[in-house]
Amino acid sequence: MASLTSPDLGALQGANFIIRAFQKNQQIGTPVSAADFLLSPAVQQLLRVVYADPDHAFSASELAQRTKQAPDVVDQTLQHLVTSGILARQKVPADQPEAVKADRSFIFYRELRSIALKSFAAAEPIRAMLRAKFKDSIVRAFILGEDEGNVIEVLIVHGAVVPDQAAMTAACQKLSKTLHRHLQVHVISMARFNGLTDRDALAAKLGAASTFEIIAPKDTKAQLPVERLGLLQSAKKKLAALSRS
């Protein structure tokens, strides 16, 4: 006989909190992005910081400073996140303020981290930066995942216009501070991208389940590089032109 198990109360509370956050966004007319269907902007800002360093214990004042939110808003949001099981309170000395960190045992921990990476914690801000500063050069862009040190790996493919290296470095460093994450960025040409083989490390990473595209060819107006013809193709083209003359 199959046995019935009772639902996880913390998981149910977490799901209810997510639904209430979405309903609140709808009521106040907040612009909705992919993650807004699940998490309120206040929750997104807190989780962006916490998930950047999930094993660090954060005080409410530290989170308020990093997210630039009012202390009362942070306190209220933390209470919901702790009650929902998304965050866990930590034991601290009596003379230290209360602290919280990500609860890795939360039933939807991996799913929430994935949602965060694919939206507010990485994909959306990186995409926005590339479109704002390098729209004339970026043809494709991918997030290749994050490592155990919470470093986000990014692959950028440029077209005919090569992005300025100094400008790209400065933009990524500035964004890294905003995300509270280190970024490992690869910038390659379209020709290099198209020429990747199974022996290339980047090709293996592109084929991994953790990889997802944040800028596709249809999303950009960047000019593609002019295709260089080989000697045989060039000769055939010239012969075809002569035969028509």
User: Please, what CATH class does the domain formed by 9-117 belong to?
Assistant: mainly alpha
Instruction: Give the residue among 193, 197, 200 at the shortest CA–CA distance from 216.
Output: 193
Q: Does domain 123-219 have CATH number 3.30.460?
A: yes
Q: Write out pLDDT tens, residues 125-177.
A: 999 999 999 999 999 999 999 998 999 999 999 999 999 999 999 999 999 99
Tokens 């077209």 correspond to 159
For the question of whether the overall pTM of this predicted structure is more than 0.95, the answer is: no
Name residue 158's amino acid. H
Give me the percent of the chain exceeding a pLDDT of 90.
Answer: 68
Q: Are 121 and 48 in contact, with CB atoms under 8 Å apart?
A: yes
Residues of the chain with CATH 3.30.460: 123-219
Per-residue pLDDT band for 33 (boundaries 50, 70, 90) equals: low
pLDDT digits (tens, 9 = 90+) for 210-241: 999 999 988 888 888 876 545 556 556 666 66
